[in-house]
Chain A
């Protein structure tokens, strides 16, 4: 089966611009998570979708971040306007849900650099 796919793999934008990250989870996985790692720090939770609904968005840093999951399939994470501190690696993960045995599968991440 195909894994979790993230696009783009790298993005360099100027402060004030808008960037949209995309995540395609494993087909059939209801749970989709976004995480972020700022340089040298821990990977931090941003939000959790169950199908198209936001189960937990308590990790979203501020209202410049907007996540959507159209029809419970792929998800986008938009940063508008981007700030320097938004630089980091954004990971997406998916899981089947309903059982803790299935675990998470992570994508390769999107490295965002805001200059």
Chain B
């Protein structure tokens, strides 16, 4: 079974619209970490956010916000007032620590291709 599910394969919006990218995860660990990465057309993976399982406080960073809900095993990402430069593939990922506090492997979702039209 996939540990991270991003059900939306592609999303298209027009500039200035708000858009939410969904992420649902599965783990038996009580301690884990959730991530979002952005992959622009240039190809690199750009770190956006890391959340640990004990911190359910939602976070806002400029036009970006994240909604972490353990009750539904979801870690959704919202872009407010989207811009053309937001066009990219967005990946959600889960890490289950290996041997204590060391980061283990990342389990990625399949990614959501976001296209923002001018």
A contacts, CB < 8 Å to B: 9, 31, 33, 35, 40-45, 48, 55-56, 59, 89, 91, 93, 95, 97-100, 102-109, 111
Q: Which residues of A contact B111 (CB under 8 A)?
A: 42-43
Give every chain A residue within 8 A of B33 (Cβ-Cβ): 100
What separation, in Å, do the CA atoms of A14 and B21 have in the docked complex? 38
- The answer to whether A98 and B108 touch across the interface, beta carbons within 8 angstroms, is no
Q: How many A-B residue pairs have CB under 8 A?
A: 73
B37 and A106 form a contact (CB under 8 A): yes
Q: Count residues of B near A (Cβ-Cβ below 8 Å).
A: 28
* Other A-B pairs, 20, CB within 8 Å; known A98-B101, A102-B103, A109-B44: A33-B106, A35-B106, A42-B111, A43-B45, A45-B107, A55-B98, A56-B104, A59-B105, A89-B43, A93-B106, A97-B102, A100-B101, A103-B35, A103-B50, A104-B35, A104-B47, A104-B106, A106-B37, A106-B44, A109-B45
The residue that A97 contacts in the complex, of B52, B103, B107, with Cβ under 8 A, is: B103
